[in-house]
Amino acid sequence: MPDDPQIWIQILLGYIHDLSIAVYLGGAVAMEFVLGPAQTSIPPAQAQVMGQKTSDRFLWLAWGSLILILITGALRLERLDMLNVTWPFFESPLSLSESYGRTVGTMFVLWCVLAINGALVTFRFRPRLAGKIAPGTSAAQVTSNQAGRIAAATWIQRLTRADLAITVVVALLGASLKWGGLL
């Protein structure tokens, strides 16, 4: 067992970072390829309730993971003396002139894309799916509402698949850091 507390902190940060990535990527795979198809085996009304419950719960997991990935990632870089709170913030090899820096920079940009996609799903498309039809709504409004819901569901599916592809790319970039980066 390591007796240096600094090593324990390093292990703990690495553990939380890896576990968060696993929850985000594995959770998205399970939602898309396991729970999604399972929903089709029950009546549509119940499937909608199940879809709403599973998505609500998964969004908490996904946001928690995304935030932990960023925090633990930054802390790990700081502990490797590559990142600090004083100007110019980035130390070698975290500059864009080096492969390591470009790879970490790309990973950060992709993290931002995941966060934007997550925000779109949470604050724009999910509320459209959850909207209820008030009594006295006209047939035209119901049709338009339904079209809006179908469009929102399609967008959520597209964004989820894009997130999956991005996360796999991030995993590849992350794995390459051990050998100095990929880009």
User: Which residues here bind other proteins, judged by CB under 8 A?
Assistant: 1-2, 7, 10-11, 14-15, 17-19, 21-31, 33-35, 37-39, 41-43, 46, 49-50, 53-54, 57-58, 61, 168, 171-172, 174-176, 178-179, 182
Residue among 22 and 147 whose Cβ is closer to other proteins? 22
| Closest alpha carbon to 97 in 181, 174, 38 | 181
Q: How far apart are CA 60 and CA 38, in angstroms?
A: 21
2 touches 10 (CB < 8 A): no
Residue among 43 and 88 whose Cβ is closer to other proteins? 43
Q: How far apart are CA 117 and CA 105, in angstroms?
A: 19
Question: Phi and psi of 90, rounded to 5°?
Answer: -100, 130
Residue among 8 and 89 whose Cβ is closer to other proteins? 8
**Least distance (Å) between residue 85 CB and other proteins:** 24
Residue among 54 and 145 whose Cβ is closer to other proteins? 54
93 touches 101 (CB < 8 A): yes
CA distances from 166 to 18, 77, 110, 170 (A): 16, 22, 7, 6
Element holding 175 (H helix, E strand): helix 139-176
Residue among 47 and 159 whose Cβ is closer to other proteins? 47
